[in-house]
Structure 1
């Protein structure tokens, strides 16, 4: 069945982290209609159990797909992807693109053969990360650290609040203070929130560190999967959907407008 030109791309995250995936996608497909969905009532995912996320994410995405009829779903959240991606793909009748830690590029880039994986607590403990590290970084020392505070820092920054540099410093210290941490030259930003605070992380680094994430690669994947589909001639304002539309969410209005998202709705 032909895909209508106005069928949107649906981006899903617990909060604003998915904007780090949306931005490169908009550069590749500038007229794509956008629905950005954030599970603000369930935020943050990184401190939740696997069982909670595995139950919550497919149910929410089912409702969103039914309401907005997207051509493709992007789970723009490492935690949700590493836990719920197979279940979501089985449940939905549209293509689903997940977000996984950029461990392969990090292993290729690291000269010291020591790199870090900075994510949420839920992501860094996943067996999926073990498999990626074994497959692509078998000759590397792979350090891991989970930071819930860094997720909150990204949300606060997009609300217009002044970022606390101590939070970025503490998050990096969680890697640097481990054995061989002083040799670490690459850090995987394994949470989609973290590229939003990459300048703060770079400023906190005691020596030059390369930060890598999967945004550009995911954008290329979305473009590939939709390459034969029609798009509108011009971009239209995007819509942001929140499972809880409270004062903190409303303060994101200006940041969302920078991504062409002009409407905010509650699910």
Structure 2
């Protein structure tokens, strides 16, 4: 399971619920963080190259790209390169469109995610006739990483990061917001305060877990070693997350 940082833990948490016996390697490409401000070419080259090397080293039966930005840009390319199932993480526009009562949906993601043609296609297919307001909120990533390290989150930082979405024309009618970055659900409580009680927050983690279940149906799982995480960045920058990772069943941290 690959993410730039630790946002993918939101997907891992859902996977643990439905597949507690599945052994997992959680890969954090912290040397590449953030993907959201990089060009499409940079993200595609990095994700394809990194997952190619990881697939060769670890021989997984399935890969999950637990990052909306990487998935909307590189999912097709990774599937072309690798001969195992690859599950992506894409904005939960379909369920949001089904839930909205007002017909106005917010999409909160990285700069790269919200501009992708992949997102355009999801909107056309599942949210035709509805209004979708897109907003890049890169300011939410650092508070997420800090929160998992046990540091306090300043609510004013969260409010500032989403203020642009709330200021868009028609935002007063918005009753559903898609959290289109796997980091963002880790700030669900703070985001609920920022948006208010009349806005429901939607993410795709549960659907991704169901997809992994369907692709591994009938397969047997055995752990030959405890589940572990790898990081492409400095190990000492990742070790403060050890207690948070333990809550998700990750017992060891290594360099990749």
TM tier, smaller = over 0.9
Residue of 161, 164, 182 corresponding to 1:171: 161
Structure 2: distance between partners of 1:237 and 1:175: 42
Distance 1:35 1:116 in 2: 32
Cα 1:235–1:208 shift into 2, 3 Å:
farther
One of 47, 50, 65 as aligned partner of 2:55 = 65
C-alpha separation in 2, matches of 1:211 and 1:199: 10
Aligned twin of 1:19: 9
Q: What is the alpha-carbon distance in structure 2 between the residues aligned to residue 265 and residue 88 of structure 1? A: 24
Equivalent residue, structure 1, for 2:140: 150
- Asked if 1:212 corresponds to 2:202, the answer is yes
* 8 Å contact from structure 1 (residues 238, 261) kept in 2: yes
CA 235–211 in structure 1, closer or farther in 2 if over 3 Å, else same: farther
Are 2:121 and 1:131 aligned?
yes
CA contact (8 A) 2:235 2:255 kept: no
TM-superposed deviation, 1:251: 1.0
Question: Which of these residues, 131, 134, 151, is aligned with residue 141 of structure 1?
Answer: 131
User: Which residue of structure 2 lines up, in the alignment, with residue 47 of structure 1?
Assistant: 37
As a proportion of its length, which structure holds more helix? 2
Measure how far apart 1:248 and its partner are: 2.9
Calculate the aligned-residue CA RMSD, in Å: 1.3
TM-score when normalising by structure 2: 0.97
Cα–Cα, structure 1 residues 90 and 21, in superposed 2: closer, same or farther, change >3 Å?
same
| CA distance in 2 between partners of 1:222 and 1:236 (Å) | 21
Distance 1:235 1:158 in 2: 28
Aligned partner of 1:263 in structure 2 is 252
Of the three residues 38, 46, 54, the one matched with 1:56 is: 46
Runs of 4 or more, structure 1, over 3 Å off, are: none
The within-5 A match list for 1:186-205 is: 186-205=176-195
Query: 2:99 matched to 1:109?
Result: yes
Check conservation: 1:30, 1:235, Cα contact below 8 A.
Answer: no
Matching of residue 245 in structure 1 with residue 234 in structure 2 = yes
Question: TM-score normalised to the size of structure 1?
Answer: 0.93
Structure 2 regions of 5+ residues with no counterpart? none
1:86-126 residue CA offsets vs partner (Å, 9 max, x unmatched): 11001111110000000011111111110100001110011
State how far apart, in whole Å, the 2-side matches of 1:137 and 1:122 are: 20
Contact 2:137 2:162 in 1 (8 A): no
What is the distance in 1 between the residues matched to 2:106 and 2:63?
29
C-alpha deviations, 1:32-68, integer Å up to 9, x for none? 1110001110011111111100100010001111111
Question: Kindly tell me: are residues 144 and 245 of structure 1, through their superposed partners in 2, closer, same or farther at Cα, counting changes over 3 Å?
Answer: same
Note the residue ranges of structure 1 that are not aligned, 5 or more in a row. Answer: 1-10
**Does 2:59 correspond to 1:37?**
no
Structure 1 contact 21–219 (Cα < 8 Å) conserved: yes
CA contact (8 A) 1:159 1:251 kept: yes
Shift of 1:206: 3.6
How many matched pairs? 256
